Amino acid sequence: MNTPTQLPRLGLLGFGEAAARLAKDFSQAGFTNILGYSRSGAKAQPGDLVWQRAEASGVTLAKTVGTLARKTDIIISLTPGKSAVPALKKILKHLRPDHLYVDASSNSAKAMEQAAALVGDAAKFVDASIMGPVDIMGLKVPFVASGRHAAEFRDRMTPHGMVINVVGSKPGDASAMKLIRSVLMKGLAAILLETMEAARRRNILDEVVEDCSVTFNDIPFQKIIRRYIGGTAVHCERRIHEMKECQELLHEMGSSDRSTRTTIAMLRDMVKMEMPAKFPVEPENIHPVIDALIAARDKAN
């Protein structure tokens, strides 16, 4: 059990839904004197929503960013993405080199690089991305963190219940990871929509769901990634023909074929990159295929 003296003094820059929920869990984990700052919080009166939120989560609302910085060791910024750099600019002159400044706003990799450059050596900057819903998961919500000081953030906060995975080496890597993950998650949703629209139009929706689920349910996702990427490198040429038939079917039914057209375009790219010649059999892991794809695309650009 940690004694209060071992606990870092926490500051939350931005005090909305995420900050309030994390603060509540931090308080339950034994943190005292958590400070929060937001523009509305600085002006709040007893009875205001933000005041009630602060009281319920064991947070004292700071009147200025200067106070927040002076009385804390670790500052977690939880503003909306577009406010992260303006909020940083406001607090910057109050930061100390021993401050850990964790930008956990949802932001572009570029904005994180800009924030890290602004901070320079004024504090220890960490790019952090929150990978789940804070209101539901609280302190157990997974964070990914990057930059020179990400390991320090992990080492100081995981003993207090946070879940922090260090990824990449530079500020921007953690935020890029969250966006790159969305390429898959949101793209998968788009392909599912296209598939299920077509299935419904043929009145075989439940059957298609069942059939696809059998394929996916029992195979670990790492294996699916390896098989789908390796298999496409080997078989891209003949898959174009099949996907053109899919497109024709969708077209005849008046169904969306956007994702299918993208699939055909990607398969054609792979043929142009001579993937079947480079990969007559599926490789053991995905690295050689992805590296060959990057090399060919960079050469063409």
Ligand X SMILES: NC(=O)c1ccc[n+]([C@@H]2O[C@H](COP(=O)([O-])OP(=O)(O)OC[C@H]3O[C@@H](n4cnc5c(N)ncnc54)[C@H](OP(=O)(O)O)[C@@H]3O)[C@@H](O)[C@H]2O)c1
Closer residue to ligand X (CB): 115 or 289: 115
**CB of 39 vs ligand X, minimal distance in Å:** 3
**CB of 292 vs ligand X, minimal distance in Å:** 35
Which residues in the 4-43 window bind ligand X by CB under 6 A? 13-19, 38-40
Q: Does 135 bind ligand X (CB under 6 A)?
A: yes
Closer residue to ligand X (CB): 81 or 231: 81
**CB of 156 vs ligand X, minimal distance in Å:** 20
Q: Does 54 bind ligand X (CB under 6 A)?
A: no
Q: Does 59 bind ligand X (CB under 6 A)?
A: no
- Taking phi over 0 as left and psi of -120 to 50 as alpha, with beta for the rest, 16 belongs to beta
Q: Which amino acid is at 226?
A: R
Sole binder of ligand X in the list 27, 33, 60, 83 (CB under 6 A): 83
Closer residue to ligand X (CB): 8 or 133: 133
Give the residue among 5, 8, 182 at the shortest CA–CA distance from 102. Answer: 8
**CB of 174 vs ligand X, minimal distance in Å:** 12
Q: Does 175 bind ligand X (CB under 6 A)?
A: no
Q: Does 102 bind ligand X (CB under 6 A)?
A: no
Sole binder of ligand X in the list 7, 59, 68, 87 (CB under 6 A): 87
Which one of 3-11, 82-90, 114-122, 225-233 is the stretch in contact with ligand X (CB under 6 A)? 82-90
Task: Tell me how crowded residue 113 is: count the other CB atoms within 10 A of its CB.
Answer: 18
Q: Does 142 bind ligand X (CB under 6 A)?
A: no
Q: Does 80 bind ligand X (CB under 6 A)?
A: yes
Q: Does 105 bind ligand X (CB under 6 A)?
A: yes
Residue 106 · residue 81 · CB < 8 Å: yes
Closer residue to ligand X (CB): 130 or 229: 130
# of chain residues touching ligand X (CB under 6 A): 24
Which one of 101-109, 150-158, 279-287, 290-298 is the stretch in contact with ligand X (CB under 6 A)? 101-109
Sole binder of ligand X in the list 100, 112, 130, 177 (CB under 6 A): 130
| H, E, C per residue of the chain | CCCHHHCCCEEEECCCHHHHHHHHHHHHCCCCCEEEECHHHHCCCCCCHHHHHHHHHCEEECCCHHHHHHCCCEEEECCCHHHHHHHHHHHHHHCCCCCEEEECCCCCHHHHHHHHHHHCCCCEEEEEEECCCHHHHHHHCEEEEECCCHHHHHHHHHHHCCEEEECCCCCCHHHHHHHHHHHHHHHHHHHHHHHHHHHHHCCCHHHHHHHHHHHHHCCCHHHHHHHHHHHHHHHHHHHHHHHHHHHHHHHHHCCCCHHHHHHHHHHHHHHHCCHHHHCCCCCCCCHHHHHHHHHHHHHHC
**CB of 250 vs ligand X, minimal distance in Å:** 35
Which one of 83-91, 162-170, 201-209, 214-222 is the stretch in contact with ligand X (CB under 6 A)? 83-91
**CB of 98 vs ligand X, minimal distance in Å:** 22
Task: Please give the distance of CA 115 from its chain centroid, rounded to a whole number.
Answer: 17
Residue 171 · residue 18 · CB < 8 Å: no
Contacts with ligand X, residue ranges (CB under 6 A): 13-19, 38-40, 78-81, 83, 86-87, 104-106, 130, 133-135
